[in-house]
Amino acid sequence: MQPIRLVSFALLILVHGLAAECPATELPSAEARARFRELDKKAQTEFRHGEFAQSAEDFRLGSCLAPDNLRSYYELYGIAIGAAAAGDFAQARQVLLEADRQRPDYPLPLAMLVKVSLSSGDVENVKESLRAAAQRFPLDGKLHAEFVKDLLHQNLPDLALAESLRFGQSGVTDPEATVTLALLANNVGAFGDAIVHAREIEEQSELPDDVKASGAAIAGLACENLAQLPEAAQHLKRATELAPKLEDSYLSLARIYQKQQNPKAALEILEEARKRMPESPKLLLALGGSLISVGQFLAASETLAAFIKRSPDEFEAYGMLAESYRNMGQPSLATAALGALAVRKPDFPMVHLMKAQSMLAEDAVDYPGVLKELTQAEKAAPTDYDVYVLRGKVYVSMEEYEDAVAAFQRAIELRPAEAGAYYQLGLAYRKSGQPTLAKQQFDTVEYLKTQAAVP
């Protein structure tokens, strides 16, 4: 007996041993067939969504209603997916290979092999199954479209692109697959192709509005990537009209308006979206930023404070709130916002430097407190030029000129071609009664200016 036949024989024994007894049923044959088809569809959908345990159970139940000539073969699915649910991907693969051997004319085992191999991170076996599918089912467009979605989900764009080409060559017309193909083309930089595929969906009047909206949104993103901003805005506006409760289209459209230097239009579209989706955190944050861009700082601060209360771990909002307060002439509130960020996320980039800058804007400056924040900033970023320049300015304000000079000299070491630190060092020397050294720094500033002017 050949080794492959030994494996097949062993698997048949395994199937016989693991197959659960079927419950007694008195369903008429027509109803049994209908129930089998229902379970089969449900199990395959659950499998595609990665719900392995439920899929295995529905495959098992379906095997009880399967025609006699399919039952043992169908039981292989339940056993394989049950093994995958338990994390035994090697057994799942072995059983699916046997199912594929028994029915080489049926694509489902190969589709399952791809999914199982992706779940286990076995890219080589993924490629092997894809090659087999390409050879045996080159015109099965839906199969290759499913592969595209699975491969994109696992961040394998090169393999997904190859499968998308196979889908295109199959000649199959499938709106969902075409949307996936358009999205993939946009993701890999084929923006012209993305627009063609996306517009094909957007312009099919018989499709559901949400499907057309997906096409319009992808067309808008692809146009944006080609710097075709008016066209991008047109497609994204269409997407918001077709699917008025899909927040990403509003966010993308607002971004386009900002790029077009039209912050008022950006604010209007976000306010419209907020009315439709008042509970959306993403829209609330974007609205806060948009309010800042049009100078509505009070409204921005109220919006962002409400957002932080609901989503305290969205750290970007704290800096935006501080900016609102700063523009309102409330530096102490800006400092408090940044302090809250520092407590919640001590390693947030530049938070201690930002807090130090905010503290210096207050009416009564706590210079020791500012220096403490700068010490924390230096620990986080020992080579940050701005930390040393700001520290030098603090020491000058405290009339501690020797420390100020040391700070500015460290900044110059970090950026020897930057004029700002030389200028501040010159001021420190002049205030400390050292005019000759001060002149040397100012002369260096003038020299660097002339160098910067040279084309």
Q: Contact at 8 Å (CB) between 257 and 290?
A: no
pLDDT, tens only, 123-148: 999 999 999 999 999 888 888 888 88
What pLDDT score does 131 carry? Answer: 93
Greater confidence (22 vs 434) lies with 434
Q: Looking at residue 270, what is its pLDDT?
A: 96
- Tell me what the mean pLDDT of segment 162-184 comes to: 78
Average pLDDT of the residues in 319-338 = 96
144-159 per-position pLDDT tens digit: 888 888 887 888 888 8
Residues, the chain: 455
Q: How much is the average pLDDT of 368-380?
A: 96
Lowest mean pLDDT among 167-171, 317-321, 447-451: 167-171
Q: pLDDT tens for residues 95-120?
A: 999 889 888 888 989 989 999 999 89
Fold of 383-455: 1.25.40
Q: How far is CA 24 from the centre of its chain?
A: 49
Which range has the worst mean pLDDT, 145-159, 249-263, 310-324, 413-427?
145-159
DSSP calls for 304-356: HHHHHHH-TT-THHHHHHHHHHHHTT-HHHHHHHHHHHHHH-TTSTTHHHHHH
Q: Which two tokens stand for residue 280?
A: 């959306």
- How confident is the model at residue 36, as a pLDDT? 81
Q: What is the CATH number of domain 173-258?
A: 1.25.40.10
pLDDT tens track for 380-393: 999 999 999 999 99
What pLDDT does 258 receive?
96
Q: How confident is the model at residue 9 (pLDDT cuts 50, 70, 90)?
A: very low
C-alpha–C-alpha distance, residues 165 and 144, integer Å: 9
The answer, yes or no, to whether residue 372 has pLDDT greater than 90, is: yes
In this predicted structure, the answer to whether residue 369 has a pLDDT above a threshold of 80 is yes
pLDDT band at 193 (very low <50, low <70, confident <90, very high): confident
Distances (CA, A) of 204 to 61, 80, 232, 240, 432: 39, 40, 19, 17, 76
Mean pLDDT score of the chain, rounded to an integer? 88
Residue 26: per-residue pLDDT: 56
- Tens of pLDDT, residue by residue over 19-62, are 445 655 555 577 877 888 888 888 888 887 888 888 888 888 88
Point out the least confidently predicted range of 186-200, 239-253, 292-306, 395-409.
186-200
